[in-house]
A and B are shown apart, each in its own frame.
Chain A
Amino acid sequence: MRLSPLVCGLVLAASLLTGPGRAEESPAYTAFARGQYLTARQLAEGEAKQGSKEAYTLLGEIYEGGLGTAQDLTKAADAYAKAADLGDANAQFALGILALEGRGVKQDQKRAADLFELAAKSGNAEAQYNLALIYLDGKGRPADEKKAAEWMQKAASQGLPTAEYDLGGLYQFGRGVTKDLTKAADWTGKAAEVGLAAAQVEYGVMLFKGEGVAVDHERAAKMFRMSAEQGNPVAQNRLARLYANGVAVKADPVQAAKWHLLAREAGVSDFTLDMFLAKLTPEQRAAANKAANEWRDERLTE
């Protein structure tokens, strides 16, 4: 089912705030953390003139996010570049993302790869993960699955869930590493445990089939359910099948229909379940529609 270990896509620069190396004691950062963006910008400009790389990074974030000022990606890229030159890994990573996407700077995949590599070598997990993706993709660096796997391993070892999941995929298909279904299940399971929906459905399949892990239908059903509740349509489809056939859960036609309707809406259709749905009584179908509506409403209010 996992088509490619690249399914998670790129991790964007959302976690800079908690990244390593931040000078959390600086007055600019304190103001920033309180949401006093105007003060933060003023203070950061002062701190930057004193040569603080973290202050430049903070300015980059303020301009990139348009926080208390108009968004200005060129200014953001300039500020990140200064901090990157001074060796700030967060800025190297953030600028790498901008270069990758061509936002605020010319799109340049090679430059993005170079920046990711700098940050990756300082231990930035997101940068390690993105560098791994670049080696898999072969854009910005010649494709090299072995290097991809090495960086993926580093990022995963730091507990980055998307990296754990994709490392599981590399082991599952033997890309850049020796194929090893046990390791595939272990890493996928780690990402599943911390709540990554794509990993939960994948791990559910492994538990169901006993691939790299002992067969455990109950636990598989739990994984499908957690992923389905998060809105993963493949998991919704698998959960519907379990309910329709009474496997690992008590057969429940209304629940089966509910999850099938939700999965189908999200693009995962299933002719067998369509036929199952057609066999239900009008009352059961009404109950399933109601349950599906309630599920949707709950998601909207979350």
Chain B
Amino acid sequence: MMAEAVPPCRLYLVLPPAPATSDEVLSQALAVTEIACVLRWGGKTSIDEAWDSQLCTLVQRHGAAFLVEADAERARRIGADGVHVAADVPLYRRARDHLGQRGIIGVGCRSRHDAMVLGELGADYVAFGTDAAHDAGECEERAELIAWWSETFAVPCVAWNVETAAEAEKLARLGADFVALAPSIFDAAEPARRIAEIGAALQGARRVA
């Protein structure tokens, strides 16, 4: 009975900075796998903004949320659902002023302290994990943070920069509410299929947990 009560861990996609991801690949991924949220990483020029605006429409049409990195003004201009910001109190406050209570503001955290402060301020989620490629030690640290957070706090947590199905499954079991895939997944061959595989692994984790 309790097995079913484990919240399904949902997929979160992070798009790489350059517009290398064709909207075709993204459409495909959104069509075959249940995706909760798509974050556009980087992308600061006006060309990027036009592109983002298209991506936003595409993502929202599939029922997923669209977030942009850091820039709350840009998020509002293109009709995105919110932003993902670094753990920094003034940054968070500015974003909240721009987006209001209904905008989604997620925070990337490096420490327990970051997560507790921003969680209390009203962050919609806290994410644990490094932005760049990580080593075994960082993976272990991320797992510890996820387990600790989900045990104690109500604010949803996101396992950041996840590369494989095995990692995703492990973090879901530890209590991650969302698994954010590494943007490098879009550089690999057949990204939509790899995303689908990780999605399938998460469903497995949910059943067994």
Chain A positions near chain B (C-beta within 8 angstroms): 264, 267-272, 274-275, 277-280, 282-283, 285-286, 289
Q: How far is the CA of A278 from the CA of B81 in the complex (A)?
A: 18
Tell me whether A286 and B2 are in contact in the complex, defined as CB-CB below 8 angstroms, given that A269-B64, A271-B81, A279-B154 are known contacts: yes
* B148 CB, nearest partner CB in chain A, Å: 16
Q: How far is the CA of A269 from the CA of B199 in the complex (A)?
A: 15
* Cβ–Cβ contact B5 & A282, under 8 A: yes
* A281 CB, nearest partner CB in chain B, Å: 8
Kindly identify which residue among B4, B36, B104, B157 contacts A269, using a CB–CB cutoff of 8 Å. Answer: B36
* Cβ–Cβ contact B177 & A278, under 8 A: yes
For residue B157, which residue of chain A has the nearest CB? A278
* Cβ–Cβ contact A268 & B156, under 8 A: no
* Cβ–Cβ contact B34 & A286, under 8 A: no
* Cβ–Cβ contact A272 & B104, under 8 A: yes
Q: Does B125 contact A (CB under 8 A)?
A: yes
Kindly identify which residue among B7, B63, B154, B155 contacts A270, using a CB–CB cutoff of 8 Å. Answer: B63
Which residues of B1-30 are within 8 A (CB) of A?
A: 1-2, 4-7, 10
Q: Does B65 contact A (CB under 8 A)?
A: yes
Tell me which residues across on chain A come within 8 A of B63, comparing CB atoms. 267-270
For residue B175, which residue of chain A has the nearest CB? A278
Which residues of B28-70 are within 8 A (CB) of A?
A: 34, 36-37, 63-65
Interface residue SS majority, chain A: helix
- Of A271, A286, A289, the most chain B CB neighbours within 10 A belong to A271
Tell me which residues across on chain B come within 8 A of A282, comparing CB atoms. 2, 5
Q: Does B73 contact A (CB under 8 A)?
A: no
* Cβ–Cβ contact A269 & B34, under 8 A: yes
- Of A268, A278, A279, A283, the most chain B CB neighbours within 10 A belong to A278
Q: Does B114 contact A (CB under 8 A)?
A: no
Tell me whether A289 and B155 are in contact in the complex, defined as CB-CB below 8 angstroms, given that A272-B65, A274-B36, A278-B177 are known contacts: no
Tell me whether A278 and B104 are in contact in the complex, defined as CB-CB below 8 angstroms, given that A269-B64, A286-B1 are known contacts: no
Beyond the given A268-B63, A286-B4, could you list 15 further A-B residue pairs with CB under 8 A, ordered by the A residue number?
A264-B34, A269-B34, A271-B36, A272-B65, A274-B156, A274-B178, A275-B125, A277-B7, A279-B156, A282-B2, A282-B5, A285-B5, A285-B7, A286-B1, A289-B4
Tell me which residues across on chain B come within 8 A of A283, comparing CB atoms. 5
Q: How far is the CA of A19 from the CA of B30 in the complex (A)?
A: 45
Q: How far is the CA of A285 from the CA of B2 in the complex (A)?
A: 9
* Cβ–Cβ contact B177 & A275, under 8 A: yes
- Of A269, A277, A280, A283, the most chain B CB neighbours within 10 A belong to A269
Q: Does B167 contact A (CB under 8 A)?
A: no
Q: How far is the CA of A274 from the CA of B156 in the complex (A)?
A: 9
Q: How far is the CA of A277 from the CA of B156 in the complex (A)?
A: 9
Tell me which residues across on chain A come within 8 A of B177, comparing CB atoms. 274-275, 278
